[in-house]
Amino acid sequence: DIPIMFGVLTTDNIEQAEDRAGGKCGNKGAETALAAIEMATLFKKL
């Protein structure tokens, strides 16, 4: 009955981690946080 977000950054090395945490691949943590906020907002409207 409640939305749950699960964001895990899986990488093979530090370079991939840096790329996915604000580098050339964007910030995947921020994307997950934004999705959680959007889901909470939608849930409140229901």
- Domain residue spans in the chain? 1-46
Residue 11: per-residue pLDDT: 92
Write down the residue that tokens 């934004």 correspond to. 34
Residue 3: per-residue pLDDT: 74
How far is residue 15 from each of residues 2, 5, 10, 22, 24, measured CA to CA in Å?
A: 35, 25, 12, 11, 11
> pLDDT for 6-39, tens place per residue?
888 889 999 998 888 888 888 888 888 899 899 9
Residue 38: per-residue pLDDT: 93
Residue 25: per-residue pLDDT: 82
